[in-house]
Amino acid sequence: MKPKPAQVCVVVALAGALVRLALAFRDETYLDRLFVPDDTYYTLAIARSIARGLGPSADGAHLTNGFQPLLAFLLVPIASLRGALAIGAIADGVTAWCLGLLARRSAGSDVAAVAATTIWALSPSAVAVSSNGLETSLTIACVTGALVLWQKDTSRWLTGAALGLCLLARVDTVFVVVAVGVLTLRRDGLRATWPLAAGAAAVVAPWWIYSLSRFGTFVPESGAAVREQAMMYRAAGMVIRDQVAWAAGAIVGPPFVDWTPLREFLGKTASGIGLVIGVLCAGAAVWLFRRTRDDVVRAALAYALALFAFYSLYLPATWFFRRYLAPIHAVTALVVALHVRRRAWAGWCLLALVAIGRLALATPVMTIDQGHHGAKGYREPARQVLALAPPGAVVGSFQSGALAWFADGTGRAVVNLDGVVDREAARAVREHHLAAFARSRGVTHFADWEVNVKRFRERAGDATFVLRRVGEAEPQGRDERFVLYAIDWPD
């Protein structure tokens, strides 16, 4: 008996999830070097702290809202790298299935449904992003799931609750929440819209109230810290052309290919070309938005456009674009699937299988993000540097996630210095008195990649301290070195 298209979509989505789960249970050092950024360990440390009853804290002492809460809450009972990767794998399977449902209803075509599911399930870029241990895949699953509920229009309260989960998954989903709200208001009026808002508020209100009462804002404090880092690069010569070019490099190729040289070519080697491509992509999205009458597609396109504009123009943390802009890859998969013909995508499926096979068998000489300030391998450098530090040492670091995670139980403490998970550190970075902050926290050592030593000195505000090199971890990637220094503070 010939399988029904819905059954095919379920099988393909499950297969995609199983591929990711199989990858998640490979050696952790392999996964760390190839996929996992330092930020993953912040989320793990925060989940561990919550599980211990200490509240959301990366170091167990200083509370923070500098994280995306939904993933951290899910990790509380299973705070481990494999737990985070398993959540990403399952979430990606859900996304593949939801994309198929969206395509089926929007196109009225079984071919579109199977194509959308297959594109995401076999996407090398989606596999890579789901393996970073962060909230990216969970966010995309929440967004596509909310759009499915909105499209079916079965319960506006339930749809609103799903939109609230989107906001907990990642705060920048506010763009899709607003898009859904505006389109619903325009189409169905206020009576149909307020249950969406109420449902979303019911889900997100407890966390927002806590954040507002404790931190004065519901926006993660990591956002301001990351923007401050981005402004350092802008002060060093990065211009809007470069920002848009890097953003273009992050969305051209995925979900079909994931090719670092292409991103680097558009962002760095030929930023003028990258700018043109970025503008053309935005223009194409606007054209599609105006042309379609399908509100689900319009909401998805509005979300993609808002993400592209926000990150390329306001928060140009170009080294994070690959994951910040990943939801655009899902929108691309949906739009492409809506225009697929019965045989047009068979060749791509074969190429995708080859690409995933190559990924599964790869030896991580360097990470896929190595060329642009991405992960370099954090697990082994952190453990080696902690072994070099004497018992009782207090280690300050800009990239402190893995250090904080692995320092637990070693007799060493770790202090975050870039402010991503410490608001006092963020203020010290902005006001150029990082040395005074570090000293007030009892920091005795500094450990980081060599590029961040310069940043520490620039924002220290006090040039009288001395950094004495103690040792270094084994080189990672392109001879990147994580170095430990002892700090001699002035009397």
Is residue 158, in this structure, part of any structural domain at all?
yes
* Residue among 138, 81, 452, 86 at smallest CA distance from 323: 138
Same domain for 262 and 213:
yes
The pLDDT of residue 257:
79
In this structure, the answer to whether residues 284 and 410 fall within a common structural domain is: no
SS3 of the chain: helix, strand, coil, percent, to 5: 70, 5, 25
Q: Single out the residue of 253, 234, 252, 254 nearest to residue 243, CA to CA.
A: 234
Does residue 45 belong to any structural domain of this protein? no
pLDDT recorded at residue 183: 98
Selected residue with higher pLDDT from 1 and 35: 35
Residue 56 CA to residue 64 CA, distance in Å, equals 6
> pLDDT grade, residue 372 (50/70/90)?
very low
Which residues have a Cβ under 8 Å from the Cβ of 99 and sit 6 or more positions away? 116, 117, 119, 120, 144, 330, 333, 334, 337
Out of 372, 407, 442, a domain closes at 372
> ∠436-228-454 over CA atoms, to 5°?
55
Within-domain flag for 54: no
Residue 26, domain member (yes or no): yes
Specify if 247 maps to a domain.
yes
Residues 460 and 391 grouped into a single domain: yes
pLDDT for the residue numbered 269? 82
- Compute the average pLDDT of residues 328-336: 96
122 and 243 within one domain? yes
Residues 269 and 416 in one domain: no
- Triad 165, 166, 170: Cα angle to 5°: 115
Residue 53 in domain: no
Which of 194, 185, 199, 12 is CA-nearest to residue 103? 12
Of 28, 72, 24, 27, give the one whose Cα is nearest residue 48: 72
Q: In the predicted model, what is the mean pLDDT of residues 257-275?
A: 84
Instruction: Report the pLDDT averaged over residues 275-280.
Output: 95
Tell whether 47 is covered by a domain: no
Average pLDDT (334-359) is 64
Strands 445-449 and 394-397 turn out to be: parallel
Q: What's the mean per-residue pLDDT of the chain?
A: 90
Say whether pLDDT at 367 is over 70.
no
Considering the domain architecture, whether residues 182 and 121 belong to the same structural domain is answered as yes
- For 360-394, b/e burial (b = at least 16 CB within 10 A) is eeeebebbbbbbbebbbbbbbbbbbbbebbeeebb
Beta strand pairing call for 413-416 and 394-397: parallel
What integer is the mean pLDDT of 27-44?
92
Q: Kindly state the average pLDDT of the residues 237-252.
A: 92
* pLDDT tens digits for range 139-154: 999 999 999 999 998 8
* pLDDT of the residue at 363: 47
Q: Are residues 251 and 277 in the same domain?
A: yes
The structural domain count of the chain equals 2
Asked if the model's pLDDT at residue 450 lies above 90, the reply is no
Residue that finishes a domain, picked among 372, 402, 435: 372
Q: Do both 211 and 320 map to the same domain?
A: yes
Q: Determine which of 102-111, 253-262, 377-386, 443-452 has the lowest per-residue pLDDT on average.
A: 253-262
Tell me the DSSP string of 10-23: HHHHHHHHHHHHHH
pLDDT of 258 above 90? no
Mean pLDDT of 246-272: 86
Of 332, 347, 372, at which residue does a domain stop? Answer: 372
Quick one: average pLDDT of 385-413? 97
Query: What is the per-residue burial (b if ≥16 Cβ within 10 Å, else e) of 289-300?
Result: beebeebbbbbb
Please compute the mean of the pLDDT values over residues 271-276 and round it to a whole number: 93
Q: Which residues of 259-280 are buried (b: 16+ CB within 10 A; e: fewer)?
A: bbebbebbbbeebeebbbbbee
| Same domain, yes or no: 432 and 302 | no
- H or E segment to which residue 101 belongs: helix 81-107
Residues 277 and 326 occupy one common structural domain: yes
How far is the C-alpha of 375 from the C-alpha of 323, rounded, in Å? 12
> Which of 410, 408, 411, 418 minimizes the C-alpha distance to 438?
418
Is the predicted pLDDT of residue 393 greater than 60, yes or no?
yes
The larger pLDDT score, comparing residue 48 to residue 257, is at 48
Give, in order, the Cα–Cα distances in Å from 216 to each of 43, 212, 219.
21, 4, 9
288/386 same-domain check: no
* Confidence (pLDDT) at 376: 62
Tell me phi and psi for residue 446, to 5 degrees: -125, 130
Question: What is d(CA 177, CA 135) in angstroms, rounded to the nearest whole number?
Answer: 17
Q: What is the mean pLDDT of residues 64-76?
A: 97
Amino acid at 204: V
Checking if the pLDDT of 122 tops 60, the result is: yes
420 within domain boundaries: yes
Instruction: State the pLDDT at residue 261.
Output: 79
Please work out, in degrees rounded to the nearest 5, the angle formed at the alpha carbon of residue 418 by the alpha carbons of 412 and 422: 70
Do 111 and 27 lie in a common domain?
Answer: yes
pLDDT of residue 343: 52
End-to-end, the C-alpha distance of the chain in Å comes to 83
What domain range is 428 assigned to? 379-488
Q: What is the pLDDT of residue 342?
A: 52
**Least confident piece of the model among 255-259, 371-375, 483-487:** 371-375
